[in-house]
Amino acid sequence: MQLLVVEDDDHVAGALVSVLGRHGYEVVRARDGASALRELSPRTDMVLLDLSLPDIDGFEVCRRIRRVSDTPIIMVTARTRLDARIRGLELGADDYVTKPYDVREVLARIDAVMRRGRGREWDGARADAAEARVRVRGLVVDLARREVRRTAGAVGDRVGDAVGTVVELTRKEFDLLALLVRQQGSVLTRERILRDVWGSSWKGLGRTLEVHVASLRRKLGEPDVVETVRGVGYRVAVPDGGDGAAPRGAGA
């Protein structure tokens, strides 16, 4: 497995590259954003991207990578502000690590991101097209197409062709929303969400879940679609005109 480590600090990069190498990873090092974009290739399995680079801002590097590749990206940052982390996730990063970090956390996050990338994905094409579309608060979630649109087009509890503005979500944001939609009306624990979406029950991912929920709410423009059930987890609002029953093919 090849990792592209984008880090301008030689001391930090040296220690990280050494640990990754001992754990069996093939590592390619880039000292700046321009080098990272040159080193990115079909062989790159994951990018560890520092945000503070000497030439191109790490956010811009992430944006450019996402134009050409779905390679998983873990942002590494000393920026602790929530809006900075949300921005990174909105640009397509799969996770983030805050400096200073323990290398064990980096290894755990690499493993979690790769596991969820290999994890099973619900095949919406197996369901009837109408049942694969769910309307919630003026939004249509198309589970088969992995698409969310703002629309008012619905007849009863069956949603017709979605028309309107597409809501741009990252893969993990859609996976999170889709899981909640398939269990619509039911409360899912944080542990269940982390297991099904992130492929891990590691408690250190709890903050990552919160950041994804915050980003998802902001992008949807409907903060109440994803409801927090204090002390338990999250649920999605019951679909418009529906009775809360999950689409056929959804798990319990």
List Cα–Cα distances, 244 to 40, 105, 192, 237, 250, in angstroms: 45, 38, 19, 9, 13
pLDDT higher at 86 or 40: 40
- Asked if residue 252 has pLDDT above 50, the reply is no
Q: How far apart are CA 203 and CA 206, in angstroms?
A: 6
- What's the CATH architecture for 2-118? 3-Layer(aba) Sandwich (3.40)
Taking residues 139-168, report their average pLDDT: 68
89, pLDDT greater than 70: yes
Stretch 130-145: mean pLDDT, rounded? 77
Minimum mean pLDDT range among 53-67, 117-131, 161-175, 216-230 = 117-131
Nearest Cα neighbor of 157 from 224, 225, 245 is: 245
One CATH from 1.10.132.50, 1.10.3720.10, 3.40.50.1970, 1.10.10.10 for 124-236: 1.10.10.10
pTM reported for the whole predicted model: 0.53
The chain-wide mean pLDDT, for the chain, equals 78
pLDDT at 201: 62
| Long-range Cβ pairs for the range 190-197 (8 Å, 24+) | 190/232, 190/233, 190/234, 191/233, 192/233, 193/233, 193/234, 197/116, 197/172
Which residues of the chain does CATH 3.40.50.2300 include? 2-118
Tens digit of each residue's pLDDT (9 = 90 or more) over 95-118: 888 888 888 888 888 888 877 665
Quick one: which of 117, 173, 186 has its CA closest to 146?
Answer: 173
Q: Which part of the chain has CATH 1.10.10.10?
A: 124-236
pLDDT (tens digit per residue) in 171-229: 888 889 988 988 777 888 888 888 778 776 666 677 888 889 999 999 998 778 899 99
Is the per-residue pLDDT at 239 higher than 70? no
Residue 155 has pLDDT above 60, yes or no: no
Band the pLDDT of 152: cuts 50, 70, 90. low
Which has more pLDDT, 75 or 244? 75
